[in-house]
Structure 1
């Protein structure tokens, strides 16, 4: 079984690859509990981010997971929950 975990660094990379970063936003700062909207990421950018995560990690994030995840911490937790379920299913 793999110990695959989605991290803040993974999210930062995917956000930058998919939507870039707003001028004046430091994604390298402590952003775990900052609302995505305050970071400059609207719903369309988050949908793209979700699609990239799904492709890269081989999971299906339901719409609620993306809609309810309004901070990086919440999205990371949702992704890791999906990864954990997938690992248990594969065992």
Structure 2
């Protein structure tokens, strides 16, 4: 089975749906290495985001994903690792 890739566009869509966009934050800029907190997404918003990712992609994310993923790039990597592991199982 081929794993579906979780992209930056997917993440931005889910972040907007889960928690909106803070005024003055441009998610269309270079945000891969910007801390999620600096983008206006704190732990509660990230928990909601993780829940939506789990439901949409039919995966289970470890609770540490929310605490370990400090940037969009880190979150993308963690989600894509889980997608690959799930597809390989």
- Give the TM-score taking structure 2 as reference length: 0.97
Aligned to 2:72: 72
- How many pairs were matched up? 89
Q: What are the residue-to-residue correspondences of 1:1-91 with 2, within 5 Å?
A: 1-89=1-89
TM-score normalised by the chain length of structure 1:
0.95
Give the secondary-structure state (helix, strand or coil) at the position aligned to 1:27: coil
Output the aligned Cα RMSD. Answer: 0.7
Shift of 1:2: 2.4
Q: Which runs of 4+ in 1 moved over 6 A?
A: none
Residues 5-26 of structure 1, C-alpha deviation per residue, up to 9 Å, x if partnerless?
Answer: 0000000000001100000000
- Deviation, structure 1 residue 3: 3.7
Cα deviation, 1:17-64, whole Å, max 9, x if unaligned, reads 110000000001110000011000010000000000000000000011
2:18, 2:48 within 8 Å by CA — same for their partners in 1?
yes
Please list every run of 5 or more consecutive structure 2 residues that lacks an aligned counterpart in the other structure. Answer: none
